[in-house]
Amino acid sequence: MIVKPGIYLLGLLIAFAAHGENFTADKVKRAQQIIEQAIDAHGGQAALDALQTIVVEHETHGHAVNQSLKPDKPWDKNYTKGISAIDVSNKLFVTRNKGYSGGFEFDTATIINGEQSFTIDYRTNTAQPVKEPDFDTSSGPFARVTPALLVKLIKQRAHTALYLGDVQHNGKAHSVVSFSMAVGPSISLYFDQETSLLTHSERFLDRAGLVEYEFLDYDMIDGVAFNKRFELYVNGDLDMQRENQSISVNKTFANLTAIDPTLTKTDPIGPDEMRLAELSAGIYHIGGNGTYGMFIDMGDHVVAIGGTGGAEQRIKLLRGAVGDKPIRFAVMTHHHSDHIMAAKVFAKEGATLIAAEQHKRVVKQALDGMDTKIRTVAAHETMKSKQHTLQLIDIGPTAHSEHILVAWLPKQGILFSADHFNVPRTGPIRPAVQSTRTFAQALKRVKLKPTVLVSAHSPMTGTMKDLQQALDANVMSSKPEVNISSAARRYQF
């Protein structure tokens, strides 16, 4: 019997399709079994259905992975004390955090409560309305570190769940199930085959890489399993260790959603859309979504300053202003992971990357094998054209980075810097943090007197008067006691 090639291939495709359908069906069925076992282990369906509110006091000791003063280990330490509260049915979420990290001191809160949603800065005593509150996005980080909520979510979204297989984790057999949350990439949950408790989860983020969570020291609270501790790892490095000091279940937290009448309400902030501003002839500040870069038209080429994410969109807007002039140089201000994201983008443009001498290795790693030139600045470098004189100056050390490059245009008095000072889009100038104070000291040390301060994280430009206002500002001391339950009454800043 002679079988025509087309019919033979069609038969193979049908066979493969049937096999694939059975394979997928088996994976889905196994996922449902694991989910049901996990529900029982975490308190049972009735207890999880009844779980509506959770309030957690927590204390976090962090390790500034790829965000430290130096580009190498050991990573700097940071600290946060906070409280998080969620009401699943009414879509309420509150988080309050106070601490320090990377030269920054903070005391902030976010309240997601429909039209009464605010972000609060207790250092400036201001409350800013959230223009487009998003419960899922805001509460997502808390849900991802709360196993009971993850198990509730995977049950609700079981149609997206898939069994990935069995693995050994920390010396114990685990079953792994992935599912998609309402916001963000899929997350994989590791359930201990002996206890069916969630002990580990992981997901992959395009910009950060592999993010992993370890859930430790379970206890039953009102019939539901909660972890007392968790650890977060970024690409295998320990990033934070959190202790849940108290957990309250199904208790009201109306007091946490109330806005202190002594707070000054500022204008709401809308979407931070991509935009281009020409600061002076041939000097452009371009960006959006909280990240900005500066571009200098040197006549026959362009120099890009800043390596944050979103560079593709910034370059697109730049082309509308300068045409197809090549980006010949791209300056990475410092080694922190969020400030070298654009290295590959600029390398594809054919740019030579410029960085502090001490950051060359990290910038090279960010290229992920791409072949491009990296030029280093030891302390100071000047680039000239008929149009502009650009100076790259290492003003480090500061409280944020041991070495950090700023871009200085002396003729125009324009200075571009990252992570030290920026003028907010609305509301008052914020009181200086340690990073800002050491930035001001560095400007005096290298004898720079800019008239325009340009930031990598704000569309607003500032002046030395604005900087001095931040330095002179008195930090507010709004320290309300938070009374939720007998277990949480001791929480006070």
Burial classification of residue 449, based on how many CB atoms lie within 10 Å of its CB (0-12 exposed, 13-18 middle, 19 or more buried): exposed
Kindly state whether residues 333 and 246 are assigned to the same domain: no
77-87 and 92-101 strand pairing? antiparallel
| 257 & 289 share domain | no
Kindly report whether the global pTM for this prediction surpasses the value 0.75. Answer: yes
Residue 336 within any structural domain of the chain? yes
The contacts of residue 294 (CB under 8 Å, 6+ apart) are 279, 283, 284, 285, 286, 304, 305, 306, 407, 416, 454
Q: What is the pLDDT of residues 69-78, one digit of tens each?
A: 999 999 999 9
Rounded to an integer, what distance in angstroms lies between the CA atom of residue 312 and that of residue 317? 9
What is the amino acid identity at position 251?
K
The CATH code of the domain that includes 362 is: 3.60.15.10
- Residue 29 and residue 140 in one domain: yes
How high is the pLDDT of residue 17? 47
pLDDT at 7 over 80: no
Among 243, 265, 287, the domain boundary falls at 265
Q: How confident is the model at residue 9 (pLDDT cuts 50, 70, 90)?
A: very low
Residue 480: inside a domain: no
Same domain, 233 and 338: no
Question: Which of 100-104, 141-145, 266-270, 461-465 is the least confident region?
Answer: 266-270
- Write the CA distances from 73 to 65, 77, 278, 365, integer angstroms: 8, 11, 40, 15
For residues 181 and 242, state if they share a domain: yes
Instruction: Give residue-wise pLDDT tens across range 265-282.
Output: 999 988 889 999 999 999
In a domain, 490, yes or no: no
Q: Which range among 6-10, 135-139, 331-335, 457-461 shows the weakest confidence by mean pLDDT?
A: 6-10
Asked if pLDDT for residue 329 goes beyond 50, the answer is: yes
Q: Is the pLDDT of residue 19 over 90?
A: no
In angstroms, the CA 196 to CA 37 distance is 6
- Give CB contacts under 8 A, 24+ apart, made by 477-484: 478/122, 478/125, 478/260, 478/262, 478/263, 479/122, 480/260, 482/83, 482/96, 482/255, 482/256, 483/255, 484/55, 484/85, 484/248, 484/251, 484/253, 484/255, 484/256
Q: Which long-range contacts (CB under 8 A, 24 or more apart) does 104-112 make?
A: 104/400, 104/433, 104/434, 104/435, 105/433, 105/434, 106/433, 107/493, 110/138, 111/256, 111/257, 111/259, 112/138, 112/139
> Would residue 166 count as lying in a domain?
yes
pLDDT at 5 over 50: no
Q: Are residues 382 and 455 in the same domain?
A: yes
The domain that holds 184 is classified in CATH as 2.50.20.10
Q: Is 317 helix (H, G, I), strand (E, B) or coil?
A: helix
The reply to whether 222 and 315 lie within a common domain is no
- Of 241, 246, 213, nearest to 56 by C-alpha is 246
Q: Are 460 and 425 in contact (CB under 8 A)?
A: yes
Using DSSP, state whether 477 is helix, strand or coil.
coil
Query: Which pair of tokens denotes residue 370?
Result: 């791409």
The answer to whether 402 and 76 are in contact (CB under 8 A) is no
Q: Which domain holds residue 288?
A: 275-426+441-472
> Which of 213, 232, 265 is at the close of a domain?
265
Is 479 a residue whose pLDDT tops 70? no
Q: What is the strand order of the sheet 327-331 is part of?
A: 275-280, 283-288, 291-297, 302-305, 327-331, 352-356, 374-377
Cα separation of 361 and 332, whole Å? 12
Tokens of 80: 């946060």
Task: Please check whether residues 259 and 344 belong to one and the same domain.
Answer: no
343 with 403, same domain?
A: yes
Q: What is the predicted pLDDT for the residue at 454? A: 98
For residues 135-146, give the mean pLDDT. Answer: 94
Same domain, 201 and 325: no
Domain membership flag for residue 295: yes
- What would the pLDDT profile of 396-430 be if each residue is shown by its tens digit? 999 999 999 999 999 999 999 999 999 999 889 99
- How many whole angstroms separate alpha carbon 15 and alpha carbon 29? 21
Asked if residue 250 and residue 149 are part of one domain, the reply reads yes
pLDDT tens column, 163-210? 999 999 999 999 999 999 888 889 999 999 999 999 999 999 877 789
Burial class (CB in 10 A: 0-12, 13-18, 19+), 290: middle
Residue 337, burial from CB neighbour count under 10 angstroms (0-12, 13-18, 19+): middle
Q: Which DSSP helix (H) or strand (E) runs through 123?
A: none
Q: Which long-range contacts (CB under 8 A, 24 or more apart) does 309-313 make?
A: 309/207, 309/338, 309/341, 309/342, 310/274, 310/342, 311/341, 311/342, 311/345, 311/346, 312/345, 313/274, 313/288
Q: What's the domain count of the chain?
A: 2
Q: How confident is the model at residue 21 (pLDDT cuts 50, 70, 90)?
A: low
| Residue 186 domain flag | yes
With respect to residue 477, please indicate whether it lies within any of the assigned structural domains.
no
Pair (259, 302) in one structural domain: no
User: Whose CA is closest to 280, among 390, 176, 438?
Assistant: 390
CB burial of residue 428 (10 Å; 0-12, 13-18, 19+): middle
Residue 482 covered by a domain: no
d(CA 337, CA 329): 20
